[in-house]
Amino acid sequence: MAGVYVSYPFCAQKCTYCNFASGVFPAALQERYLVALADEIRAHVWEWTPQTVYFGGGTPSTLAAEELASFLQLIPGRPWLEATIEAAPGTITAEKARSWAEAGINRVSLGVQSFIEKEIRRTGRKHTAATVDREIRLLSDAGIRNCNIDLIAGLSGQTEASWRESLDWIERLAPAHVSVYMLEVDENSRLGKEKMLGGVRYGAGDTPSDDETATFYETAVERLAAMGMARYEISNFARPGFESRHNLKYWKLEPYAGFGADAHSFDGRVRTQNPESIEEYLNPASRDRQEAEAALADERFFVGLRLMAGIQPSADEWLRFERPIQRFVDAGLLETEDGVLRLTKRGVMLSNEVFQEFLTT
């Protein structure tokens, strides 16, 4: 089951926590990008018909409805099994929701991150909990009832009480899917870089500790399970039948085609990547995709173990990874049952250490 990813790296503002290749750019650059993106999709030779589409960013929900529809018309396979657009709260109108549904969108992923105004403002976002409530209703009225809500554990100013309040909002809104990410601290975001330098801008001096963030995550796992939302991947929770079909491709090593700046593609054997920056993507001299043979044996463990269902290693893989598997089983980070290998509850919290071992074995 193959899919399509379309990258729209433009935002109205750059959130303090964001470490993606997206940002605020001149309108003229956006116009050139849209032309190049349409040209790339038109030039693609479709060897299969996609069953899922994911329009990510950036903030593709800021695109004019007719522009989004024109891009979707270039992709074969409509109606798709799943067609998702990422949206920032505060960018959805009744007219836009109806247009999305008419164009084939049947799933919306809302980058809420928090329902607490103090935390929201520190990220650079401007929405409120009421905004999210209203826009989910607009989507439902338009026939789009499959919604994901993103939350981030570890935001500046976050406390146990405020985290529970955000989870209370999840229970009240009852979305089909929730993604819970623990704040990534690295130099690619303003907040992460400031925290690494020991500064206080962007509320960096008021972020929860790693242990507190881990506790927030575990609280979310418990609360979401009580709401009937099962954790099927480390950061993703869904009601039965509402798992992200598109994202499952990445974890199951299924093929997908990516279009736009920093977009990746995978044909089942070879991985390719477009230039990361918009300027490079728009420059014909540097537009050639980077290509690399996928190390499928390593990747199957790295991405497959993210799924709570685990993986079924082959006889050769059991032999190749015998030592690290046994070490992690003895440490209580992995468990085996009927030929299936999966992370334990403790292993989920230390998953990066587990994954790294399989990549370097």
The pLDDT tens digits of the residues spanning 219-239 come to 999 999 999 999 999 999 999
Amino acid type, 68: L
Query: In terms of DSSP H, where are the helices of 83-183?
Result: 94-103, 117-123, 129-141, 160-173
Read off the pLDDT of residues 36-83 as tens digits, 9 standing for 90 and up. Answer: 999 999 999 999 999 999 999 899 999 999 999 999 999 999 999 999
The residue-averaged pLDDT of 15-28 equals 79
- The token pair at 259 is 């279009």
- Mean pLDDT over all residues of the chain? 92
pLDDT at position 293, please? 61
Does 188 score more than 80 pLDDT? no
Does residue 157 have a cis peptide bond before it, meaning omega lies within 30 degrees of 0? Answer: no
Helix (H, G, I), strand (E, B) or coil at 198: coil
Does 319 score more than 80 pLDDT? yes
What is the percentage of the chain residues whose pLDDT exceeds 70?
A: 96
Nearest to 84 by CA among 150, 133, 17, 25: 150
Q: Are 155 and 183 in contact (CB under 8 A)?
A: yes
Nearest to 56 by CA among 234, 256, 309, 213: 256
Which has more confidence, 44 or 193?
44
360 confidence band (pLDDT: 50, 70, 90): low
95 confidence band (pLDDT: 50, 70, 90): very high
Report all structural domains of the chain as residue ranges with CATH numbers, in order of start.
Answer: 3-250 (3.20.20.70), 295-361 (no CATH)
- The CA distance from 356 to 309, in Å, is 20
Does 290 score more than 80 pLDDT? no
Q: Are 60 and 53 in contact (CB under 8 A)?
A: no
The residue-averaged pLDDT of 259-272 equals 93
Give the Cα-Cα-Cα angle 93, 96, 100 (nearest 5 degrees): 140
102 CB contacts (<8 Å, ≥6 apart)? 69
Q: Are 131 and 182 in contact (CB under 8 A)?
A: no
Q: Are 194 and 200 in contact (CB under 8 A)?
A: yes
The residue-averaged pLDDT of 91-115 equals 97
pLDDT at position 138, please? 98
- The token pair at 140 is 């439902």
Does 21 score more than 90 pLDDT? no
Query: In terms of DSSP H, where are the helices of 253-314?
Result: 278-282, 296-304
pLDDT at position 231, please? 98
Q: What CA–CA distances, in Å, run from 251 to 150, 154, 203, 236, 270?
A: 19, 25, 34, 12, 16
Read off the pLDDT of residues 129-140 as tens digits, 9 standing for 90 and up. Answer: 999 999 999 999
Does 149 score more than 80 pLDDT? yes
Does 333 score more than 80 pLDDT? yes
pLDDT at position 361, please? 47
Query: DSSP secondary-structure letter at 209?
Result: P
Nearest to 152 by CA among 175, 176, 126, 185: 185
Which has more confidence, 94 or 198?
94
Nearest to 144 by CA among 177, 111, 178, 101: 101
Does 1 score more than 70 pLDDT? no
The residue-averaged pLDDT of 321-329 equals 95
278 confidence band (pLDDT: 50, 70, 90): very high
Place of tokens 């956006």: 30
The residue-averaged pLDDT of 147-166 equals 97
Sheet containing strand 270-273, strands side by side: 230-233, 236-238, 177-182, 146-153, 107-113, 82-87, 52-57, 3-8, 256-259, 264-266, 270-273, 290-293
pTM over cut 0.95? no
Q: What CA–CA distances, in Å, run from 274 to 214, 226, 277?
A: 34, 41, 9
Which run of H or of E encompasses 221? helix 210-226
Q: Are 109 and 178 in contact (CB under 8 A)?
A: no
Q: Buried b / exposed e across 42-77, counting CB within 10 Å, b at 16+? A: eeeeeeeebbbbbbbbbbbbbbebeebbebbebbeb
Which has more confidence, 285 or 275?
275
